[in-house]
Chains A and B, each alone.
Chain A
Amino acid sequence: MIYAGAWYLQDFLWVLTNGKAIVPELFLMALVIRALGNEGRGVEVLWAAFLGGMLWDLRWVGFPGLSSLFYVVTILMSRWAWFALPQSGRTPPLFGAALWAAFFPISAVRNFLGGARGAGILTTYFLQQSYLLPLVLLASLAYAWKLKNTDV
């Protein structure tokens, strides 16, 4: 349900802005948060990423498999890196860093497909970051809060 909600919200924003503004990758954020927060839900998150990415591609991109490929690879790499760390090393700052890094590939793809070239790439990148960083910060705070409650 959380995947569908995040996907719909992202799609809603995309329609609302008529494709003229950069919309935050809310769906990927929900996937990564879910993937890093639950070790046993890997397959579920991967399928959600695959299907959600496929639907996004069919609806907006026109290259079926592009977004889903990046989503799936991002989830696999994030989980591999995150769960390779010892339990004590999975701190909120590292969670934030992993989340932030997970967005880099898809941001680059969106940047390129959006038609940005030359100096426009940098402008679009900073614009993407202006949406992304507050969301990453919020997710890290939520993770820290969850961690604190689990310890108690």
Chain B
Amino acid sequence: MAEKHQEKEWIHGLLMIITCLLLLAAAPRKDVFRGAVDAAGLLLRYPEYPAVVLERGAKSLSSWFAEKSVLVERLDFLEKENSRLKLAWSMGSAAHLKQELERYYGYARVTLREPLSWWSEARINKGASDGVFAGAPVLHNGYLTGRISSLGENYSWVELITSSSLMVPVVIEETRDLGVVAGDGEGGLWLLYVPEGRSYSGGMTVSTAMVSEALPPGIPVGSLSPDKRKTGGSYYEWKVIPGANLNQLYALEVYGEGTEGGGLK
């Protein structure tokens, strides 16, 4: 039985081999099989459709990733370029501001204000050669900002009124009471030595008093705030709101003696 099976199998196999060889012999004549090839393509079109869809999906996904990578690269380049342009613009803008400040006659430009001594001092670009002298009052927007503490030929250091070591004799215009104004080194300005029992209201004007020789009287300093605090003894301290904008010190006016009218050269 098994031998009969084997015999049948060999016969079928040999018939198939002969058929294959005959077909291969006819293979160069492509027109013979064109119809069969087309029919096979048509027949398999639908079963193969999911694979075609998957292949297209994979292809578009891969091109999406490729495009994304190009976009990320481009974005990176533009960000770097933007940073460079911003830096160039800020440098140009700073140079423009410097030129603007230089044009104001009688004004000195602030060239250095160190963070560690922010409320104590600032350096300006006018010095002894411009008629500046030690102790001269320095103004901002017409209000007292500080005094010249030291100077060189072409520069000076200004001690600001918010410095704890600068004490300025002042008068309260409305009451003609005298006092002393000093900073706390942290941006605050206080009217010291106010005797207990004296009462002031917020908004009263504080100006320099005719006590010091170096400091002319009548230079406005600021106005009183309603805030006060008690110190040792029987004295109070009243908060003073400076008239000068100490947060925007770009240029200062030095009340000098070097030129006619008290201005700088």
For A68, the chain B residues whose CB sits under 8 A away are: 16, 20
CB nearest neighbor in B for A64: B23
Is there contact, CB below 8 Å, between A39 and B2? yes
**Smallest CB–CB gap between B61 and chain A, Å?**
13
Q: How far is the CB of B42 from chain A (nearest CB, A)?
A: 11
**Contact assessment for B9 and A50 in the assembled complex, using a CB-CB cutoff below 8 Å:** no
Shortest beta-carbon distance from A18 to chain B in Å: 6
A47 to B44, CA, bound (A): 20
B44 in complex: contacting residue of A11, A40, A46, A50, CB < 8 Å? A11
Assess whether B94 is interfacial by the CB under 8 Å rule: no
Binary flags per residue of B30-45, CB closer than 8 Å to A gives 1, else 0: 1001001101110010
Query: Once the chains are docked, how many angstroms separate the CA of A106 from the CA of B171?
Result: 111
Mark out the residues of chain A between 6 and 29 whose CB falls within 8 Å of any chain B CB in the assembled complex.
8, 11-13, 15-18
Q: Which residue of B lies closest to A76 (CB)?
A: B13
Residues of B within 8 A of A49 (CB): 16
Closest to A17 in B: B55
A72–B2 touching, CB < 8 Å: no
The distance in angstroms between the C-alpha atoms of A63 and B29, with both chains bound, is 10
Residues of A close to B71: CB separation below 8 A: none
| Size bracket of the A interface | 20 to 34
Please tell me if the beta carbons of B37 and A43 are within 8 angstroms of each other in the complex. no
Once A12-B51, A39-B2 are accepted as A-B contacts, the answer to whether A65 and B27 lie under 8 Å apart by CB is: yes
Asked if A121 lies at the interface with its beta carbon under 8 angstroms from chain B, I say no
Other-chain contact of A69, B2, B5, B24 (Cβ < 8 Å): B24
Chain A residues with Cβ below 8 Å from B52 are 15
Residue of B19, B27, B40 touching A55 (CB-CB under 8 A): B40
* A66→B16 contact, CB < 8 A: no
B230 interface residue per 8 A CB criterion? no
- Chain A residue with Cβ nearest B39: A58
B8 to A: closest C-beta gap in Å: 6
Number of A-B contacts (CB under 8 A): 87
A11, A15, A75 interface centre (most CB from chain B within 10 Å): A15
B12, B13, B19, B50 — which one has the most chain A CB atoms within 10 A of its CB? B13
Complex: chain A residue closest to B23, CB-CB: A65
Question: B9 and A43: CB pair below 8 A?
Answer: yes
Answer yes or no: B17 CB below 8 A from chain A CBs.
Answer: yes
Indicate the size class of the contact surface on chain B: 20 to 34
Given the complex of chains A and B, what is the CA–CA distance between A66 and B24 in angstroms? 7
Closest Cβ of chain B to A59, distance in Å, is 5
Closest to A60 in B: B40
B10 in the interface, Cβ–Cβ < 8 Å?
yes
Residues from chain B with a CB closer than 8 A to the CB of A83 are 6
Would you call B54 an interface residue if the criterion is a C-beta within 8 Å of the partner chain's C-beta atoms? yes
Interface bits A29-63 vs B (CB < 8 Å: 1, else 0): 00000000001101100110110010100110011
Binding site for A on B (CB under 8 A): 2, 5-6, 8-10, 12-13, 16-17, 19-24, 27, 30, 33, 36-37, 39-41, 44, 47-48, 50-52, 54-55, 58
Q: Would you list 27 pairs from A and B whose C-beta atoms are within 8 A, ordered by A residue?
A: A11-B44, A11-B47, A11-B48, A11-B51, A13-B51, A17-B55, A40-B5, A43-B9, A46-B13, A47-B12, A47-B16, A50-B16, A55-B40, A58-B33, A58-B40, A59-B41, A62-B30, A62-B37, A65-B19, A65-B20, A66-B20, A66-B27, A68-B20, A69-B17, A69-B21, A72-B16, A75-B13
Interface residues of chain A, those whose CB is within 8 Å of chain B, are 8, 11-13, 15-18, 39-40, 42-43, 46-47, 49-50, 53, 55, 58-59, 62-66, 68-69, 72-73, 75-76, 79, 83
